[in-house]
Every structure is written in C-alpha cells, then in structure tokens.
Structure 1
Amino acid sequence: MTDDTITPASWTALTTLTGKEPAEALGEKLEDALEPDGVGVFEMEDGSGLWEVGAYFAEAPDETALAVLAAAYGAKPFVVSEIPPTDWVAHVRRELQPVAAGRFFVYGSHDADKVPAGRVALLIEAAMAFGTGHHGTTQGCLLALETLIAEGATPARVADIGAGTAVLAMAAARVFPDAHVIASDIDEVAVEVALANLRVNGMEGAVDCVEAAGFGHAALTDAPFDLIFANILKGPLIDMAPDMAANAAPGCHVILSGILNPQADEVVAAYEAAGLSLVRRAELGDWTTLTLRR
C-alpha cells in the first residue's frame, strides 16, 4: 500500500435550504468567500424540495463566517465535520465483497481466488469502486440484463449512458460479443477509468468509450440502439427521456436505475410519455431498476 492512497484529515460543511437559485447563489458565495477545496450544490432526492450545499476544506473552516453566510441566504446552520485520515483503498477492500448477479460476478483483484467457475467475471479494482456492481443500482441493472438474456435478447447495438467504470457495458460486451457497445460518461476521468477496466479485463476494443453528456456525441447519434443502460439519478433520467426514446430502435429495451423506490412512478411516467412501455420493475434495497421497451 502506498502513501498516496491515504487522504489526510479534512473537513466538510453542509447545509440545506429551499430553492435552486438561492442554493446556487450560496454555493458561489461560499466558494468566493472561504475558498474551499470544493463546493457541491445538489437537489435532495427525497422529494422534500430542499437543496444541499456542501464545501470541503483541507483545514478547519471559519465557522463564524459559515454562520453569517447561512443566515444571509436563509439556510440552516452549517454542520461542520472532521474527516480523519483514511486509507480509502484498504477501506474499500474491507467493505466491498464480491457480488454475484445472475451469471455475472464482480470482484476486485484482492478477491481473485473467489471467482467461481463458469461465471462472467468482471474485475474492477477497489480504487475504482464507484459503479462496480456492489451498489444496489448497478447490481439491479445486471440482474435486469440477466432476465433479458433469459428471454432471448440479442441486441446488435448497445449504449451505456453515464457509464462510470463501464461495468454494465463490459457485461453486455461479454454476453453479446457481436454487438457494437458504446460507454459514455460526462466525466473525463470516468472515461479513463472505463478504458483502464477494459484493459485489466482483457477487453480492449470491445467497448467504445466516449466523453459525452447524454447522447451528445457522434458515436451515440449515428444509429438507434437495441439496448440502453442509464444508471444515473432521477432528475437526469427524466430530463433524458425524450432523447432516450429518439435513440431507441423499435423493440429496444431500456434499463434504468439510480432511482430511489419512491421516485420510480415519476420516472415511469416520464418514459411512458416519451413513448416507452414499462416491462418490469424490481426493488433491491432502497433502489428500483426499471426495464422499459420502445
């Protein structure tokens, strides 16, 4: 284990308030006034209408200044927390166990001796843990894919939108070796991680990895798809519904996740309005996976 896997102590400051505009304004002012290492502004995914504003600091922040900012923008008082030094790779290796989802087996190199015979094994390193299949949303997508395989699906063109580590794209490429599979993500680093995962799985060239927001890349608009994954969040999924329908071939299956159970009806309604029909929905813990068809 090298020292660069250990993060030093840091601090977070979190608050909530009502409304997108005041939340974004507070985030901008927080960044200008206190110069944190990072600021995030997110809508709470619990239907409350609240927005969370968070900042991350290498040193303990000025709590008086935070209190003044919270009062000025009508936010709740900031909650400041210290994050102790953490060896994140060691932590992930302790916490993440191999995951079986149908024929698929997702694991880290530290668990290579646990791969069962006859499974479609997908290696994702602990340092690249986001989207490995250990999260209920990705696992739900793999199980939905397993069901489509059992039903005889043979897609020729597959897209994984918001692919993260590209575990879903790799799973599709392994079971549909003749398919053209594309993985896209808005984050350049995620695309690099996807390419690295393809290399360690001996799958270079099996998936085209592109940087794109939604379907905003020529590789994704050249032809409609027969199978589309999108494991993102409720808001972006709803916004993407018209584009999803426009890029889906007749008979295309669309597998969606990143959806909290109470949010599923709203996502289904958006996709039905765009012309897709619900085939099945499955809950895994707090998360719902939807399979729809055009």
Structure 2
Amino acid sequence: MTSTVTPSTSRATFAIGDERAARRVVDLLNESFEEGQAAVAAFERPDGTWDVSLHFSEAPDQASIRGLVALAAGGDIAQHITFDIVEAKDWVKASLEDLVPVPAGRFIVHGRHDRARVPPNKLGIEIEAALAFGTGHHGTTRGCLLLLGQVLRSRQPIRVLDLGTGTGVLAIAAAKALRRRVLASDIDPVSVHVARDNAGLNGAGNLVEAICATGFSAPQFAIRGPFDLVLANILANPLRQMATPMAAHLAPSASVIFSGLLPHQAQGVIAAYRARGLILRRHLIVEGWSSLLMQRAM
C-alpha cells in the first residue's frame, strides 16, 4: 500500500439551505478562481441542507471569500463561514484503520489486510482506500451489490456497464461473478486509473475496460452496447439528466441499478426512467441511502 500524505491546506466551510442556492454559490466560486487555486465541493445532508467547502493550497483572503459568498447567497451565510487549517495526514492509512470486511449478499468487500477473513462461500472484492470514491463501506455501494446479487440469481447479463465506476467495486463484482467483460466509465481520470489498478488486483484486469468519459459520449458505449445490465452509483441530478441517453443504450428487458440517492430523491429518478419505459422492480434503503432496481420493458 502506498502512503498518500496530503499537505496542510486552508479550508473554508459553510452551510446553505437548499440545492439551488448551493449550486449558485459553487458555480460563482468555481468561476472566481484560476485552475488549481481552490477546490470547491458541496454535499447534501440527510435533512436537505448542504455543506459547502473550499480547500486552498495557500491561505485565502477571508474578506474576499465572504464577499463572493454574499453575492451568491447573502450576507448572513457569508458571516457564518468558518476558516481553519486541515493538517497534513496520511489519509489512506487513516481510512484503513477503521475499515472492516463488508458483506453484501454473495459479495464481500475487503482491504488487503483482511484477505484471510473472506469466507470461502463469498466472492471477495479487494479494494484499498484511494483517491476515488467507493471502498464498499458506503450504503450506496452496498445497496448496489445487494441488487446486483438479486439480478444474477435470475439472469446472466452479457453486456454490462458500470457508469461512474469510482474505485471499480461494481465493475469488478460483475466481472468476477459473470466472468464477462464489463465496460466501466468515470468522468474523473484518477478514478479510472484506480479502477484499472483494482481490477488487476482482483484478477479481472482483462475483463474490466475502464475509460474516462462524460455521460454516454465515448464511442465505446455504442460499440459495447446495447447493455443488458447497467450499474450507476452516481447522484440524483445526473441520473435524471441522463435518462434519455441511458434508455437509448439499453437492450430489451435490460436491468438498471441506480444509487447515490437520498430517499426523498428516489421518486424523481423513478419517474424520469418510468417515462422512458422502465419499471421499478425493487427499492432498497441501506444506511439512509436509496438504491433502485429498474427494468426496461420488452
């Protein structure tokens, strides 16, 4: 395992009331900094409010940050910005300290240090913490794996896509269970690199083709489709926006597994895909996150 020690960074954090306001602030902040000056992120809480954070390699002008936020979200939000320092840390080592093998039906996700703890009747997926989302220790990943197990009990998909692959957990699970090739895509080149490494680590390097792509724009989607099974652990808004191109790349009776959804967001995704001819087969809630199994009509 390679150590990944991040340098100390300056951080600004604040909370904001809804998604529209959060998007407005994030867009303005992203437009206000040169590439590499700041990293901006926003995450939704279970109560519907949003946490916004900015990381800087050098100490920022606090008054300027407050002024930008005030423009987009108002002075009250700007006055409640918290500035602090995130100390240097080996995040990989720290994250592994709390990771234990995670069972999800027939699958079990584990780190290298827990290889010996994989039961013989489980399909092990070895994933180390890395600079990409998805060690298997998240309700969205577990929900997807549980639904994947359900699909595989009744059918053996031939053409499989993992959209938004992250560390490659779902692609590796499908490839190892089916012993078939899986196309895995992500918009983040770091994630693509990590997914390829993890596929090789799990003996599936010849089965998982990981590509960097936005949506369904890459030629590999047309070449490898139409898909019998799609796994898409992303976020609610991108899933809704991709409903039309997703449907265009599905084979008749294709199964689609969605996650990355808070329970109150699930109905909007269901409605978007129901309008494209998909039927809801199952809705799981794992650790406060929704995962959906939908199927295209014949």
Instruction: Please report the TM-score for the alignment, with normalisation by the length of structure 2.
Output: 0.87
* Residue 114 (structure 2) pairs with residue 111 (structure 1): yes
Task: Give the counterpart letter for 2:200 in structure 1.
Answer: R
- Rounded to whole Å, the distance in 2 between the matches of 1:216 and 1:283 is 31
- Rounded to whole Å, the distance in 1 between the matches of 2:171 and 2:138 is 16
Write the deviation string for residues 152-184 of structure 1: whole angstroms up to 9, x where unpaired: 21111100011111111111111111x331111
1:39 is aligned to 39
The 8 Å contact of residues 185 and 212 in structure 1, kept in 2 or not, is answered as: yes
* Residue 175 (structure 2) pairs with residue 192 (structure 1): no
2:61 is aligned to 62
Moved more, 115-124 or 79-88: 79-88
Write the deviation string for residues 204-261 of structure 1: whole angstroms up to 9, x where unpaired: 2111111111221211112311100000000000001111111111110000000011
Tell me how far 1:97 sits from its aligned partner.
1.3
Instruction: Please report the TM-score for the alignment, with normalisation by the length of structure 1.
Output: 0.89
Q: Which consecutive residues of structure 1, in runs of 5 or more, have no partner in the other structure?
A: none
Label 1:148 to 1:19 Cα distance change in 2 as closer, same or farther (>3 A). Answer: closer
SS at match of 1:39: strand
SS at match of 1:13: strand
Label 1:204 to 1:27 Cα distance change in 2 as closer, same or farther (>3 A). Answer: closer
1:9 is aligned to 8
The 8 Å contact of residues 8 and 86 in structure 2, kept in 1 or not, is answered as: yes
- Rounded to whole Å, the distance in 1 between the matches of 2:62 and 2:131 is 34
Task: Give the counterpart letter for 1:140 in structure 2.
Answer: G
Label 1:97 to 1:291 Cα distance change in 2 as closer, same or farther (>3 A). Answer: same
SS at match of 2:256: strand
- Rounded to whole Å, the distance in 2 between the matches of 1:154 and 1:7 is 43
Tell me how far 1:45 sits from its aligned partner.
6.9
Label 1:45 to 1:276 Cα distance change in 2 as closer, same or farther (>3 A). Answer: farther
Superposition map of 1:130-279 within 5 A:
130-150=133-153, 152-177=154-179, 179-222=180-223, 223-279=225-281
Task: Give the counterpart letter for 1:88 in structure 2.
Answer: W
Label 1:167 to 1:23 Cα distance change in 2 as closer, same or farther (>3 A). Answer: closer
Tell me how far 1:20 sits from its aligned partner.
4.2
Tell me how far 1:63 sits from its aligned partner.
2.1
Label 1:117 to 1:52 Cα distance change in 2 as closer, same or farther (>3 A). Answer: closer
The 8 Å contact of residues 37 and 55 in structure 1, kept in 2 or not, is answered as: no
The 8 Å contact of residues 168 and 184 in structure 2, kept in 1 or not, is answered as: yes
2:289 is aligned to 287
Label 1:184 to 1:199 Cα distance change in 2 as closer, same or farther (>3 A). Answer: same
Tell me the percent identity.
41
Q: Which consecutive residues of structure 2, in runs of 5 or more, have no partner in the other structure?
A: none
Moved more, 50-59 or 266-275: 50-59
Tell me how far 1:85 sits from its aligned partner.
2.5
Label 1:282 to 1:183 Cα distance change in 2 as closer, same or farther (>3 A). Answer: same
- Rounded to whole Å, the distance in 2 between the matches of 1:126 and 1:238 is 29
Label 1:205 to 1:86 Cα distance change in 2 as closer, same or farther (>3 A). Answer: same
Q: Over the residues paired in the alignment, what is the CA RMSD in angstroms? A: 2.4
Write the deviation string for residues 28-69 of structure 1: whole angstroms up to 9, x where unpaired: 22x15xx87423264857696x77653212343332332333
Task: Give the counterpart letter for 2:85 in structure 1.
Answer: E
- Rounded to whole Å, the distance in 2 between the matches of 1:96 and 1:45 is 23
Label 1:10 to 1:99 Cα distance change in 2 as closer, same or farther (>3 A). Answer: same
Q: Where do 4+ consecutive residues of structure 1 move more than 4 Å? A: 19-23, 41-48, 50-53
SS at match of 1:288: strand
Task: Give the counterpart letter for 1:148 in structure 2.
Answer: V
Label 1:212 to 1:27 Cα distance change in 2 as closer, same or farther (>3 A). Answer: closer
